[in-house]
Amino acid sequence: MVAALVGDPARANMLTALMNGRALTASELAQEAGITPQTASSHLSKLEAGGLVELEKQGRHRYYRLTDDDVAGVLEGLAGLAARTGHMRVRTGPKDPALRRARICYDHLAGDLGVQMLDTMRDRNLVRQKKQEIELTAEGERFLAKHLQISPEMLAHPRRPVCKACLDWSERRHHLAGTLGAAMMQRFNELKWAARDATPGSRVVNFTRTGEKQFATLFGNGKD
């Protein structure tokens, strides 16, 4: 039974870690779940047998990812049901402080800095947010063009929205997703303000000294 697989806390933590769509190695997943590699190995083979995850061998690493969107969808549904009853997950977020501060979520900035960025943009009327819906204002467009050289036509996409609120894993508050969130992250990269950590599979985003400074100028909240 599939549900029994998801039912175990250790396996549920692994699956949650895979929910961002990226593939993780067995050891990374073991650490996510807070168990030893040999226990994780047992769990992962069960998840694979159950068709929930796929395995890709690469050298001496073994990368696991969710099989497809159907699996992710069902997991989201389960999370939704769990959320209604307040029976939320015990394990709240990443322990790693660097991961907590700034990381990649799909293709945009998440973590403390990601939440801070959206907060500031909202405060300064660069975007308007109603629940999970976010709209870019005219003021916001001017701001993006001036400071980050991002134009509206760069953000157009047939199916993906420009702005989207994405619930932050560690902060439990929204950060900015959508084509704008992706474009901004890409721009940070190009400007050498920030870069994904070199260690393969890591989702940590490291800011350079000047990048940190510039980011604070644009989106700082005075707390750092």
Nearer residue to DNA within complex by CB, 27 or 186: 27
* Residue 26 binds which of its own copies, DNA, none (CB < 5-8 A, kind-dependent): DNA
Nearer residue to its own copies within complex by CB, 135 or 224: 135
Among 17, 32, 43, 169, binds DNA (CB under 7 A): 43
Nearer residue to its own copies within complex by CB, 33 or 194: 33
Q: Binding residues for its own copies, per CB under 8 A?
A: 1-9, 12, 49-52, 68-71, 73-74, 77-78, 80-82, 84-85, 87, 89, 131-133, 158-159, 161, 164, 167
By the 10 Å C-beta count (0-12 exposed, 13-18 middle, 19+ buried), 210 is classed as exposed
In this structure, are residues 46 and 11 in contact, taking their beta carbons and an 8 Å threshold? yes
DSSP string of 139-183, one letter each residue: HHHHHHHHHH---GGGG--SSS-S-EEEE-TTTSSEEEEHHHHHH
**Secondary structure class of 60 (helix, strand, coil):** coil
The CB density around residue 26, as the number of other CB atoms within 10 Å, is: 19
Q: Phi then psi for 4, rounded to 5 degrees?
A: -65, -35
Tell which positions 9-38 bind DNA, by CB under 7 A: 9-10, 25-27, 35-38
* Residue 38 binds which of DNA, its own copies, none (CB < 5-8 A, kind-dependent): DNA
Give yes or no for residue 51 binding DNA (CB under 7 A).
Answer: no
Which residues are near DNA by CB under 7 A? Answer: 8-10, 25-27, 35-46, 59-62
